[in-house]
A and B are shown apart, each in its own frame.
Chain A
């Protein structure tokens, strides 16, 4: 869920196009400006919209606002719409691009919906922070559950452990079977839980969300899944090792 939420806000805060409003829209000036912009490495495509294009577009798409048709064409802006390459769609780069474009002659102002983007970035940061806190709390909870489950299991075999210890079994000899069984059980639980979540999300996505055109849920790629699995494995091994070690140290304590 957090992966989906994060991906959603990453996508929504990407800046795909930047508009450069121009002061004088005579052909020579515009062609020079387009040529300058096309030379920039981040630019994927450039389209010029004249005052009349803007006027026509607004008239066609805002028919409910009747007075627009009565306004003179000269009042509408002419601009160049710059489509950015995939890797240059972040706010930091766009701010650099904005200052470069402002330095060009004939550019009056730049617009890319900064206010919206900043709002989305704030929400994204909040979501990331929330996800990080939830992940930490969940990791602590999982570690605690594993620690206590292993301890309960060890308590169940306390008598057998003591007998093994009395006949000369080393701590490693006693600990290894418990450690392995815990790791195997926890890995099976991890895949089972992931499978259940995957199918619930898949059904939710295909049966409900896609039908109402909401493209929110997305599944992490294999690399993210593997990273998640490695983190889970580290938590499993560390918590079960700690549990077994503290139990055996306590149980083989000399003092009563």
Chain B
């Protein structure tokens, strides 16, 4: 589903954010990308949703080469990805409902159909009662659930989450991961996190990054275990 071959990412005037990374994530896998702050987790996710293209190497999503993708094809790639950003990327001045509508508007979907997709999801995420609340008045946990709802609304085959538990307490983080594991089914879920407790509680495949280098992959037999700081 997701394949990276010798991928390096060098930002202007900066060190290598990613250094010669190669990995594969299959369909239906639930994978943690771990590492300390600045390890390259967010950069790796950004490469997957084509916010940046790699300086070297190849990124393949569902057998499509994202590293050579044309600008006009990026929106269609992103429609197959649900992304929960660390800062949520919600429109603060719009309501919960309107924030979810914008993900469906791009398909020129009718209002009735939109509501039929949005309402059950809001109920499942227990924020239905907040549907008409403007996002800036929501708590961090509520915003996170709105961001998750937006990532899931199109039923994408790949879900990417960047530090989904960083702004919520332990109970809520557990709830989020439980929910994601329940919802994932045959979806590929990639969670970038530095929360070791969470990983221990809900064990799954782990890919470790440190200073832009891949330091371990729990899926590989002879993994080289160098836990990040």
A residues whose Cβ falls under 8 Å from a Cβ of B: 159-160, 162-171, 173, 249, 252, 254-256
Contacts and interface: CB of A to CB of B under 8 A. Distances in A.
A170 B106 contact: yes
Contact of B78 (A160, A166, A254): A166
B83 interface: yes
Given A170-B106, A256-B52, A163 B74 contact: no
Contact of A159 (B11, B49, B51, B91): B91
A254 B68 CA distance: 11
B110 interface: no
Contact of B150 (A165, A167, A170, A171): A167
Contacts of A162: 89
Nearest to B100: A167
B98 to A, nearest CB: 11
A165 B75 contact: yes
B79 A160 contact: no
Given A166-B89, A168-B76, A168-B78, A173 B102 contact: no
A215 B187 CA distance: 80
B71 A252 contact: yes
29 contacts: A159-B91, A163-B90, A163-B91, A163-B102, A164-B102, A164-B106, A165-B75, A165-B78, A166-B49, A166-B78, A166-B83, A167-B78, A167-B79, A167-B103, A168-B75, A168-B78, A169-B75, A169-B106, A170-B72, A170-B75, A171-B75, A173-B105, A173-B106, A249-B71, A254-B50, A254-B51, A254-B53, A256-B12, A256-B52
Nearest to A170: B75
Nearest to A164: B102
Contact of A168 (B12, B90, B106): B106
A170 B107 CA distance: 10
B205 to A, nearest CB: 26
Contacts of A170: 72, 75, 106
Nearest to B71: A252
Contact of A171 (B51, B72, B85): B72
Contacts of A252: 71, 74
Among the interface residues A160, A164, A173, A254, which one has the most CB atoms of the partner chain B within 10 A? A254
A193 to B, nearest CB: 32
A164 to B, nearest CB: 6
Among the interface residues B11, B50, B71, B105, which one has the most CB atoms of the partner chain A within 10 A? B71
A164 B104 CA distance: 10
Contacts of A165: 75, 78
A32 B32 CA distance: 111
A197 B106 CA distance: 43
A182 to B, nearest CB: 20
Given A168-B79, A256-B12, 8 more contacts: A159-B91, A163-B90, A166-B49, A167-B102, A169-B75, A171-B71, A171-B72, A254-B51
